[in-house]
Chains A and B, each alone.
Chain A
């Protein structure tokens, strides 16, 4: 991890822990003693981390910190958020089928053709069907059903 990235990480961490400290100390009622103690410990560790990074000399190293590849992960994020928004309206298994199918199609290395579309669809149906049999038919787990299953 480069010196700049490390410095920035420790400062952002300190800011997060300080905000948790403020949240812990703001309420006046009882029952907050333990969270207050924990938040003080968190801020203390963050301060030590910042000080250690500032004291350390600039390290000679390549930047080996793996960057966040937003371009790769945003479709999954979009699918996850959409799943949460429509799951109760559409039905649990129907939403899961769509989410599974979308992720498979988006990230498939194969070229988009009728064969790959059908193959992914069949695998998605089998996977969701097996889950339905295990969780609903066998284990009697209550699953929310919307306009579909």
Chain B
């Protein structure tokens, strides 16, 4: 059992120091809006140049683990996701905080992340050869349907109606098409020089979530509501742990979806949390509670995005195909150390590979311990007066956006999208679907165009996209997802009518 053989090496000397420091730094970087796991890993790659291969990879791996989990802190407390993977966490995490359950939400976030993360790493350790075979069966048509499945999740993302959610998602997809056509290479919709590089995810994510939040904060500050809007309740970690473990369904859905989405190369690991949230809502007896502070929403999304971490390394370590953008950066770190992915990694460099995987497992445990410890100090974040918080978010948004590509154009795009989103939120639109559209648009278009080219050389477009077991399974899930969204919309409208009728009765009385 190689995993146990190399575990003592992880827990000794320099490697343990790297694990602890990496976990704390990763949690803090993750909690900073704009510093995504991809950027955090990329920024710290130069630090690994002077390290041994094992230590360098441990640092990058532990950063990947802890930044994904740390992103939930700002999502829960400030309503700004630390990274795209934490968008779904925010949907119920922030309402929980506003309802006076901020500590509880943070506990669920770290405990679920730990459980999902351990499952993801165990999948990486034990099922790599089998899952690689599954991952290789996903061609452009399957990836196209995965993207469409992601789009059907939009109905659950908090717009005032499913139609408005779908429209916002479609606008997000259209925005993502600005720039260059991924196959033909032609320039599209470049109305200004600032749009030449297109609209990338991080400026869009920061702008759409952070800037409307800044405007809301300054509005509150101007109205004299500058103090804390919710307190941190005292809650025992043991109570949270017991409750969290009792939510087997949400944990199971999150971990399973996170693992599956993670191992599919190019599916975009950041959608794991959103798909898991959507499915947890659909399988719940009380789906109306989601979006209003339902703990299962936090549990499903956090277990999914952490399970995705280990799983996304399966195709990377065995085939050299990263399962997520951060895994792609990690692949760069691997190559810099002179290690090449593939079967040789597990034979010629077995100590490095197994120590790295053991370290990932240990990092999950450390992430839970330090995450729960750091969450005790989160009360200081929410005590910060609104005018200071608004100013800090503006500067972090500008700096976070700029540091991605060192581009002033990105800051302009971020601010423009942010101001437009602030206005749109006042008319029933929400930023979640727009961001999802921006994430999924390029995946859908690239795979659709590649699939079309393959289809022309085969039996035709219909045959290529609408036959095959995986395609049919994904199409069925898409249809069911849309049908459920329509059903939920009608149910919500009926409830709204009943509420209006009772309101009218009260007015008459």
Which residues in A have some Cβ–Cβ distance to B below 8 Å? 1, 5, 9, 13, 17, 20, 23-24, 27, 29-32, 34-35, 38-39, 41-42, 45-46, 48-49, 52, 59-61, 65-69, 71-73, 75-77, 79-80, 83-84, 87-88, 92, 96, 99-101, 103-104, 106-109, 123-124, 127-128, 131, 135, 139-144
Contact = CB atoms under 8 A, between A and B. Distances in A.
| Residue among B177, B222, B391 facing the most chain A CB atoms (10 A cut-off) | B391
Interface of A is mostly: helix
B189 interface: yes
Interface stretch (B164-172, B248-256, B321-329, B338-346): B164-172
A116 to B, nearest CB: 11
A83 B218 contact: no
A114 B85 CA distance: 44
A73 B219 contact: yes
A61 B500 contact: yes
Interface stretch (B239-247, B289-297, B422-430): B422-430
B398 A109 contact: no
Given A31-B181, A140-B46, A9 B503 contact: no
Given A96-B398, A103-B394, A72 B188 contact: no
Interface stretch (B129-137, B307-315, B405-413, B475-483): B405-413
B171 A42 contact: yes
A68 to B, nearest CB: 6
B392 interface: yes
A30 B186 contact: yes
B43 interface: yes
B219 A45 contact: no
A108 B392 CA distance: 14
B221 A109 contact: yes
B214 interface: yes
Given A31-B184, A32-B188, A60 B500 contact: yes
A73 B218 contact: yes
A99 B177 contact: no
B403 interface: yes
B399 A103 contact: no
Q: Number of contact residues on B: which range applies?
A: 35 or more
Contacts of A92: 399, 402
Contact of A100 (B174, B392, B444): B392
A60 B499 CA distance: 11
B390 A107 contact: yes
B173 interface: yes
A103 B391 contact: yes
Contact of A103 (B170, B173, B218): B218
A76 B167 contact: no
Contacts, number: 160
B446 to A, nearest CB: 9
A84 B411 contact: yes
A135 B218 contact: no
24 contacts: A13-B427, A20-B171, A30-B181, A31-B183, A34-B177, A34-B444, A38-B173, A42-B174, A49-B164, A61-B500, A65-B427, A71-B222, A72-B218, A73-B218, A73-B219, A96-B398, A100-B392, A103-B390, A107-B221, A107-B390, A127-B392, A140-B43, A141-B403, A143-B402
Nearest to A73: B215
Contact of A104 (B222, B391, B403, B449): B391
B287 interface: no
Nearest to A67: B426
Contacts of B298: none
Contacts of B223: 72
A80 B415 contact: yes
A65 B402 contact: no
Interface string B380-416: 0000011110111011101100110010100110010
A123 B388 CA distance: 9
A109 B427 CA distance: 29
Given A31-B184, A45-B167, A67-B426, 20 more contacts: A1-B427, A1-B428, A17-B171, A20-B171, A30-B181, A30-B186, A34-B177, A35-B189, A45-B163, A45-B166, A76-B390, A87-B408, A96-B398, A99-B394, A100-B391, A104-B388, A104-B391, A107-B222, A140-B43, A143-B402
B388 A34 contact: no
A111 to B, nearest CB: 13
Contacts of A104: 387-388, 391
Given A66-B426, A77-B419, A100 B500 contact: no
A147 B500 CA distance: 61
Contacts of B507: 60
Contact of A39 (B43, B174, B403, B448): B174
A34 B226 contact: no
Given A84-B408, A103-B218, A139 B43 contact: yes
Contact of B215 (A20, A32, A76, A99): A76
B504 to A, nearest CB: 5
Interface in B123-171: 160, 163-164, 166-167, 170-171
